[in-house]
Structure 1
Amino acid sequence: MKRDALPMLPPTPPEIVSDGAPLFGRYAGRIDRIDWQALEGPHARSWLWRHLHHKRWQYVGIGNEEVFVGVAIVDLGWMCTAFAYAFDRMRGEMVANWRQDGLPGWQGGVSDEPVQGARAWFKGPFARLLLQHGASDEDGEAADGDVLELSVRTRAMKVQVDLSLAEAAPFLLGVGPVTGGVAHATQKSSALPVTGWLNVRGRRFDLSNAVACLDSSNGLLARNTDWRWACAHSAEVGFNLQQGYFGVNENALWLDGQLIPLGAAHFEFNPKRPMAPWRVHTDDGLLDLMFTPEGARQEDRDVWLASSHYVQPVGTFNGTVRASRGAVARQVSGLLGVTEDHRSRW
């Protein structure tokens, strides 16, 4: 039987907008900047609408056999928020779960550069978070180097790591329309090597044998947005899946450094029992996995202008993936990652 050729994604365009319209599609590689200023015609909106609906975030997930760390900095346009958590896999315990809100521009922000030149920051009471491209020099300023530095200083936990980009597999750039909004773009990485440490509850975890993944997102989104998400990575195999507001545009598989687009994702789980097993699969038959949660970060917030109903279980995936319909199935066993069920009014 003749094996199917691997699907190939086009290279990332130099700009996210052309002739006034978003360049919808999936691409392989990094983009320097996600800038919606050139939108025209049916894609254009007033300054006020754009200010209220422009959402940017940077999320980093870091994991090894002992611990999983999740960190996010989110700029909602009219406010900013950040969270950081650490889940001790050996004890099955969430050992840190920190969050703060702030004023955009004053206490936090996320740049339009998703990777190269990226800068996301948050400053609040007893809290300092920074994600930036380039390791810091002795004066604390960004120095040369194709790395992302992540620094977290809170009362609950401290993190200091570098994520190496030098030999990373191709990043995914997904650009697509969103119902009730205009467009969204996201950069996703495969497994990134890590050097550094986590301090929490008087214990120090060496993260030098961990891998990380990066989610850099920037879009003009609807007031109400919901999604299901799954992400897991190792040096050999990784994937990113989303079902909800963004369709198939960020669904991808990494096999031995090759980036392969995936079809529509399906999440089978009980929203009332998120710690029960999940099944995630794609309609092209290239991915079929069972997820077993070990623990979860969960939050239900409903304030005057916004709400967030969120659960992000941490656990392992088992099942099969394949590079194409005609390819031999690849077994996946104990692949560390997360799933997520999220509904926001923002």
Structure 2
Amino acid sequence: MTLPGAPARVVGSDGVPQLGRFAGAAQAFDWHLLAGEYARGALWRRFHHKKWHYVSLVSEQVMAAVAIVDLGWTSTCFAYVFDRNDSDMMANFSQDGLPGRLSASVGEHAGAASWFRTRATQIRIEPLPGGRYQLTLRCPYMEIEAEFGPPGAPLLLATGAVQGGALHGTQKSPGMPLSGEVRTFRDAYTLDGGVASFDYSNGLLARETAWRWASAHNLELGFNLQAGYFGSNENALWIDGEVVPLGPAHFIFDPKDPMQRWHIFTEDDQLELFFTPDGARKQDRKLLVAASRYIQPVGYFSGWVRRAPDAPKRIVTQLPGVTEDHYSRW
């Protein structure tokens, strides 16, 4: 199935959202322009509008991730570096920011700059000419300087309704050529020859939101899978330079012991994978007005994928990536 091209704006001039899955990038997520049954007041949007920009960096030796999150009423960030050779989480950092744009800003679309800054921490994700991107991070535990892109296949744009909220939109990238360096207390690690990918998400979400997620990429194929608040809207496979929509995904694992093997498959018989965790980033928080329960195992996927139910299976072996089990009250 070939996806239609992405609209420039996810809300039309008539206030009606353009819902579905598309190939390409949107230039605006103008939720404030929604009209009719989709419209929400400014105060409601302030507390339900959530945005995040997440970048994954994978090289021969390390897997790293950086995220900036705008919760509407406050902001937060996290980053980690995992040593693939000895399964050691070398650095694991998170920090809350101040309300509004005092500490952070997530761009209005995937091609806009996002940043987080405090006295001790600076993070910036920004576009470069030619479809490339730059990530810089300075914090007490690590430093990252990375460039990646351009993507060799289209981005996925997915938009849809969410129960308890209103609407959500997300941009997922395929794997992109990566260069740069990660520095920790232990040593400096090259990212040259690695693979990067990103998740940009922007929506009006429910007060309580939960999901399971899986993502992994090399330069030939990759996938993004979610089960939870957004249904199958963002499920996709990148293969042979195209982005292919996938059906609903099922995550079979033990929530009490997520470091055991995961079994993941889609209902359309286009993907079946087994995930073996090597390590994990975990964070449980309970505040007066918010809470989160989060684990993101780091490991490897093996199994098979295919571009159509009657197409030959493409074997996947030891593809590095992540899964996630996440609940938020925000």
Using structure 1 for the length normalisation, give the TM-score: 0.93
> Structure 1 residue 97: deviation in Å?
0.4
For 1:16, the aligned partner's letter is V
The farther-off stretch of 59-68 and 73-82 is 59-68
Q: Distance in 2 between matches of 1:289 and 1:147?
A: 30
| Structure 2 residue corresponding to 1:197, chosen from 153, 174, 181 | 181
Q: Distance in 1 between matches of 2:212 and 2:227?
A: 5
Q: Size of the alignment, in residue pairs?
A: 328
Aligned to 1:106: 102
Aligned to 2:125: 131
SS of residue paired to 1:21: coil
| Structure 1 residue corresponding to 2:192, chosen from 201, 208, 224 | 208
Aligned to 1:336: 320
Q: Distance in 2 between matches of 1:105 and 1:15?
A: 23
State how 1:266-345 maps to structure 2 within 5 Å. 266-345=250-329
Q: Distance in 1 between matches of 2:4 and 2:315?
A: 28
SS of residue paired to 1:152: strand
Aligned to 1:229: 213
Deviation per CA, 1:34-85, whole angstroms, max 9, x where unpaired?
2212101111111100011100100001112211001000001100000010
Tell me the percent identity.
48
| Structure 1 residue corresponding to 2:247, chosen from 263, 270, 275 | 263
Q: Distance in 2 between matches of 1:121 and 1:14?
A: 23
Aligned to 2:45: 50
SS of residue paired to 1:51: helix
Q: Does 1:154 align with 2:150?
A: no
Deviation per CA, 1:154-184, whole angstroms, max 9, x where unpaired?
010000001112x531000000000001100
Aligned to 2:114: 120
Deviation per CA, 1:232-256, whole angstroms, max 9, x where unpaired?
0011110000000001110000112
For 1:335, the aligned partner's letter is L
Q: Distance in 2 between matches of 1:121 and 1:159?
A: 14
Aligned to 2:234: 250
Q: Distance in 2 between matches of 1:131 and 1:297?
A: 21
Aligned to 1:172: 156
| Structure 2 residue corresponding to 1:20, chosen from 15, 34, 37 | 15
> Structure 1 residue 209: deviation in Å?
1.4
For 2:78, the aligned partner's letter is F
Aligned to 1:163: 148
Aligned to 1:138: none
Aligned to 1:41: 36
> Structure 1 residue 30: deviation in Å?
1.1
SS of residue paired to 1:22: coil
Q: Distance in 2 between matches of 1:16 and 1:51?
A: 19
Deviation per CA, 1:281-339, whole angstroms, max 9, x where unpaired?
00000000000001000000001111110000010000011111111111100011000
List alignment gaps of at least 5 residues for structure 1: 1-6, 135-143
Aligned to 2:5: 11
Alignment RMSD? 0.9
Q: Distance in 2 between matches of 1:113 and 1:66?
A: 31
Q: Does 1:78 align with 2:78?
A: no
Q: Distance in 2 between matches of 1:91 and 1:330?
A: 29
Contact 1:34-1:114 within 8 A present in 2 as well: no
Q: Does 1:63 align with 2:63?
A: no
SS of residue paired to 2:34: coil
For 2:257, the aligned partner's letter is R
Q: 1:149 to 1:175 in 2, by over 3 A?
A: same
Q: Distance in 1 between matches of 2:193 and 2:20?
A: 34
Q: Distance in 1 between matches of 2:207 and 2:152?
A: 35
For 1:105, the aligned partner's letter is R
Q: Distance in 2 between matches of 1:336 and 1:240?
A: 13
Q: Distance in 2 between matches of 1:170 and 1:145?
A: 14
Contact 2:59-2:192 within 8 A present in 1 as well: no
Q: Distance in 2 between matches of 1:127 and 1:338?
A: 25
SS of residue paired to 1:197: strand
> Structure 1 residue 131: deviation in Å?
0.5
| Structure 2 residue corresponding to 1:88, chosen from 77, 83, 91 | 83
